[in-house]
């Protein structure tokens, strides 16, 4: 069950009946995590308390993932566990669109809602566990309730997606792109920074498409006219004095506009671009956004503008129709692209995705073999790329300090998905500190470094 340790107890709570307690199991991607945060923010604002275990909860909300069949299975298991352990279960999230399937297996769930259905979840909680109104309980921190450590936070700038990648059912689950208004996003970002956040992780389904659905509406921010678009938002976020990391960006020409912000140190020199493949034939069959772009040329130009740029990406091997020749094109592309960070998935059918109907399904053993080859190929590249950093001075942010030292990250490392920077000499360091460190050693994923000092002007 997701820990609720970020949430302070209600100091005014029990004057009369104790506040009802809700448990929450949060599965899936950072976008689902943000949904969970919003649900819990609403519940806490209404005076519900959170239970860290099944036994203490009056009801349990399970926020499910429905992206891959394996994720659906995991979600169904989590629902089963919550029912067995607690018995009063409300299901939400991506798998919620398959209410029939959930009810067939678990007829006793109290309610089922789909993704981003905050109102419906909260209503289901009201019904399952009503609470008496008490205005003294309607107190939550202004930045809301977060499940991430105090020093970093995900900032969701839009919902949904306008693309139709053949392996993906997200547009079906979450609908078309709906960007949040510029000032809403910035106000949330400022609240987070005021609350001590040192790193904002910008997420959406397609961050580079921000504002398209609002026709790039003009608005005023801090006395300046801005447009609701990716470059203006990046510049505004880059003025907040914290790390700003861009996830789920596509290599469109307009992304060029944010490279100067990276070169000037206003946002992190990091782009998370899910390329998924390099063979033009497979990219076309995947119906990937920007699949016609000449990505290697664009990467080279970006690196001229910002030599320190780190690009992380994910790839799918064994997509239907992928030949050995397509796969070798992908390996060659990786050799040229020299990406800092790479994740890889073996293709699997997702119920309802158009790719299921494609011919040329790749046998499982071939997927396994290509997966292992890609990982080994990229490990050698990453080891070289990271090895070249030995002796450099980097700014890092500390995530944790334990008996063995500090676990930190560089500009090149997003939490949870990339590598770490390990610092043995950690006296005086605390989670959230930003400091300069000198790299002393490297592996294919991680760096080791000695502390130098905290960069001037950064919060400790
Ligand atoms: S860009 Fe493609 S993979 Fe990503 S959410 Fe949209 S349709 Fe799915």
Distance 193 CA to ligand 1 centre (A): 29
Number of domains in the chain: 4
DSSP state of 8: P
Whether 121 is in a domain gets the answer: yes
With a Cβ cut-off of 6 Å, ligand 1 is lined by 161, 163-165, 168, 170-171, 205-206, 289
Measuring CA to CA, which residue among 126, 122, 137, 128 is closest to residue 16? 137
Count CB neighbours of 300 within 10 A: 12
The pLDDT tens digits of the residues spanning 195-223 come to: 999 999 999 999 999 999 999 999 989 98
Q: Specify the pLDDT at position 17.
A: 60
414, 201 in Cβ contact below 8 A?
A: yes
Residues 257 and 162 in one domain: yes
Q: Looking at residue 349, which CATH number applies to its domain?
A: 3.30.750.200
Distance 276 CA to ligand 1 centre (A): 11
Q: Specify the pLDDT at position 315.
A: 97
112 forms beta bridges with 91
Nearest ligand 1 atom to alpha carbon 289: 1
Residues of the chain short of pLDDT 70, as ranges, are: 1-17, 119, 131-143, 145, 292, 454-460
Q: Specify the pLDDT at position 7.
A: 35
The tokens for 365 are 């053993």
Distance 205 CA to ligand 1 centre (A): 6
Residues 398 and 360 in one domain: no
Residues 312 and 373 in one domain: yes
Cα–Cα distance measured from residue 152 to residue 166, given in angstroms and rounded to the nearest whole number: 33
Non-local CB neighbours of 307 within 8 Å, separated by 6+ positions: none
Q: How many residues does the chain have?
A: 460
Query: Dihedral sign, CA of 254, 255, 259, 265?
Result: positive
Residues 446 and 414 in one domain: yes
Cα–Cα distance measured from residue 327 to residue 281, given in angstroms and rounded to the nearest whole number: 11
Q: Specify the pLDDT at position 424.
A: 87
89 forms beta bridges with 60
The DSSP element (H or E) to which 401 belongs, if any, is strand 393-402
Residues 380 and 280 in one domain: yes
Whether 245 is in a domain gets the answer: yes
Q: Specify the pLDDT at position 10.
A: 38
Residues 30 and 133 in one domain: yes
Q: Specify the pLDDT at position 71.
A: 84
The tokens for 120 are 């419906």
Whether 12 is in a domain gets the answer: no
Residues 446 and 375 in one domain: no
Task: Report the half-sphere exposure of 238 (CA within 13 A, side-chain side).
Answer: 19
- The answer to whether 344 is a known ligand-binding residue is no
Residues 303 and 399 in one domain: no
Say how far residue 336 (Cα) sits from the centre of its chain: 27
Residues 43 and 121 in one domain: yes
- Residue nearest (by alpha carbon) to ligand 1 atom 8: 168
Residues 185 and 247 in one domain: yes
Whether 382 is in a domain gets the answer: yes
Residues 167 and 126 in one domain: no
Q: Specify the pLDDT at position 142.
A: 60
CA torsion, points 322, 325, 331, 336, in degrees to nearest 10?
A: -120
From 31, 171, 353, the mutation candidate for ligand 1 (largest count of ligand atoms within 8 A of CB) is: 171
The tokens for 203 are 């997420």
Q: What residue numbers bound the domain in which 40 lies?
A: 21-137
pTM, two decimal places: 0.75
Whether 457 is in a domain gets the answer: no
Question: What separation in angstroms does the CA of 112 have from each of 90, 108, 144?
Answer: 6, 11, 24
């Amino acid at each position: 069950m997701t820990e609720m340790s970020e949430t302070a107890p209600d100091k005014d709570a029990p004057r009369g009946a104790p506040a009802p307690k809700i448990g929450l199991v949060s599965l899936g991607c950072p976008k689902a995590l943000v949904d969970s945060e919003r649900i819990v923010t609403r519940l806490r604002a209404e005076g519900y308390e959170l239970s860290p275990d099944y036994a203490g909860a009056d009801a349990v909300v399970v926020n499910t993932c429905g992206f891959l069949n394996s994720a659906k299975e995991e979600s169904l298991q989590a629902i089963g566990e919550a029912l067995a352990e607690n018995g009063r279960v409300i299901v939400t999230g991506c798998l919620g669109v398959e209410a029939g399937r959930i009810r067939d297996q678990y007829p006793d769930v109290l309610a089922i809602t789909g993704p981003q259905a905050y109102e419906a979840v909260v209503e289901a909680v009201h019904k399952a566990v009503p609470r008496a109104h008490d205005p003294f309980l309607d107190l939550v921190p202004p930045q809301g309730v977060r499940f991430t450590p105090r020093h970093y936070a995900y900032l969701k700038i839009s919902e949904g997606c306008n693309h139709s990648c053949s392996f993906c059912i997200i547009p079906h689950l979450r609908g078309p792109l709906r960007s949040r208004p510029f000032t809403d996003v910035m106000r949330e970002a400022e609240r987070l920074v005021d609350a001590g956040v040192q790193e904002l992780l910008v997420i959406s389904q397609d961050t580079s498409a921000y504002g398209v659905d609002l026709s790039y509406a003009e608005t005023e921010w801090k006395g300046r006219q801005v447009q609701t678009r990716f470059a203006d938002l990046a510049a505004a976020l880059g003025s907040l004095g914290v790390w700003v990391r861009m996830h789920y960006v596509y290599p469109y020409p307009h992304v060029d506009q944010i490279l100067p912000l990276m070169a000037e140190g206003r946002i992190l020199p990091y782009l998370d671009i899910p390329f998924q493949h390099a063979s033009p034939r497979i990219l076309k069959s995947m119906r990937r956004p920007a699949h016609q772009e000449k990505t290697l040329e664009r990467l080279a130009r970006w690196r001229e503008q910002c030599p320190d740029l780190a690009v992380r990406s994910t790839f799918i091997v064994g997509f239907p129709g992928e030949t050995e020749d397509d796969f070798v094109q992908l390996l060659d592309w990786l050799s040229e692209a020299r990406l800092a960070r790479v994740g890889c998935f073996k293709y699997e059918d997702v119920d309802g995705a158009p790719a299921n109907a494609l011919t040329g399904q790749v046998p499982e053993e071939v997927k396994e073999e290509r997966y292992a080859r890609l990982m080994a190929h990229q490990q050698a590249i990453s080891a070289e790329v990271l090895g070249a950093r030995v002796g450099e001075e980097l700014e890092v942010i500390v995530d944790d300090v334990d008996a063995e030292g500090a676990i930190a990250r560089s500009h090149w490392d997003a939490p949870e998905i990339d590598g770490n920077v390990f610092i043995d000499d950690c006296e005086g360091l605390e989670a959230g500190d930003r400091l300069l460190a000198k790299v002393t050693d490297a592996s294919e994923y991680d760096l080791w470094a000695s502390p130098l000092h905290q960069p001037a002007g950064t919060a400790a």
